Amino acid sequence: MCIAGSMVIVIHAPLEQEITSVKEIWHMATQPSFLLYVASVIVLVSVLVFHFSPLWGQSNVLIYTAICSLMGSLSVMSVKALGTSLKLTFEGTNQLAYPETWFFMLVVAICVLTQMNYLNKALDTFNTAVVSPIYYVMFTSLTILASIIMFKDWSGQSLGSITSEICGLIVVLSGTILLHVTKDYERIPQSRSM
């Protein structure tokens, strides 16, 4: 179900818009809606790291995976910005002269280091079979949300494509939930009939 849902999302994903400068990406990243998303992520991650992680990080898999996923959504947006800057630089339009390129590089470094730190904590504390699907769903969902907000991915898309993407995401979520429900069911000892 996870693979089928992911394929539906990819098939109906919007076409990538042509970007000619890091300034264009900076403009997208500094829109009020995306800045609100970034501020929300920073507040949530801070609360999770400083309040919930010390209390329940060792017993609740959602704490570490939420930190990874939230930071991951920002790292994907920053990596896309940095990658576009480098691509344009290699094509002959130097983007390294802009401070925005270096800012995106700093954001990538901070996000990836935080993300890897808490992903390693999650994998050290919990079974990989539990961490991986939860992380996949949270990371994918939050990255899609961040992309919709920053790049306005759904503007210009048909209602059918948007609906298909949402259905694909629901199929992915259902597959992950189903995986955990069946694993939990297998662990329940069955009573013997005598």
Q: Considering the domain boundaries, does residue 41 fall inside one? A: yes
Please, what is the angle between helix 128-151 and helix 61-90, to 10°?
50
In a domain, 119, yes or no: yes
- Is there a contact between 38 and 78 (Cβ–Cβ < 8 Å)? no
Q: Is the pLDDT of residue 189 over 60?
A: no
d(CA 44, CA 22): 28
* 25 against 172, higher pLDDT: 25
Lowest mean per-residue pLDDT among 18-22, 71-75, 92-96, 181-185 = 181-185
For the record, the structure tokens of 69 come out as: 């996923």
Q: Which residues contact 47 (CB under 8 A, 6 or more apart)?
A: none
> What residue numbers bound the domain in which 57 lies?
22-173
Alpha-carbon gap, residue 108 to 71, rounded angstroms:
10
Per-residue pLDDT band at 182 (split at 50, 70, 90):
low
Cα separation, 169 vs 177, whole angstroms:
12
Q: Is residue 187 part of a domain?
A: no
Q: Is residue 92 in a domain?
A: yes
The amino acid at 167: C
- Burial label for 45, CB within 10 Å (0-12, 13-18, 19+), is buried
In a domain, 153, yes or no: yes
Examine residue 168 and state whether it is found in any structural domain, yes or no: yes
Distance CA 122, CA 91 (A): 40
How many structural domains comprise the chain?
Answer: 1
Distance (Å, whole) CA 100 – CA 173: 35
Instruction: Give the span between the Cα atoms of 50 and 132, in whole angstroms.
Output: 23
| Domain contains 1 | no
Encoded tokens for 63? 């704490």
Asked whether the beta carbons of 64 and 121 are under 8 A apart, the reply is yes
Residue 160 resides in a domain: yes
pLDDT in tens, 21-70: 899 999 999 999 999 999 999 999 999 999 999 999 999 999 999 999 99
pLDDT, one tens digit per residue, over 27-39 is: 999 999 999 999 9
- The predicted-structure confidence for 104-129, as pLDDT tens digits, reads as follows 999 999 999 999 999 999 999 999 88
The pLDDT assigned to 165 comes to 85
Residue 31 DSSP symbol: S
138-171 pLDDT, tens per residue? 998 899 899 989 988 777 778 888 888 888 888 8
For 165, left (φ over 0), alpha (ψ -120 to 50), or beta?
A: alpha
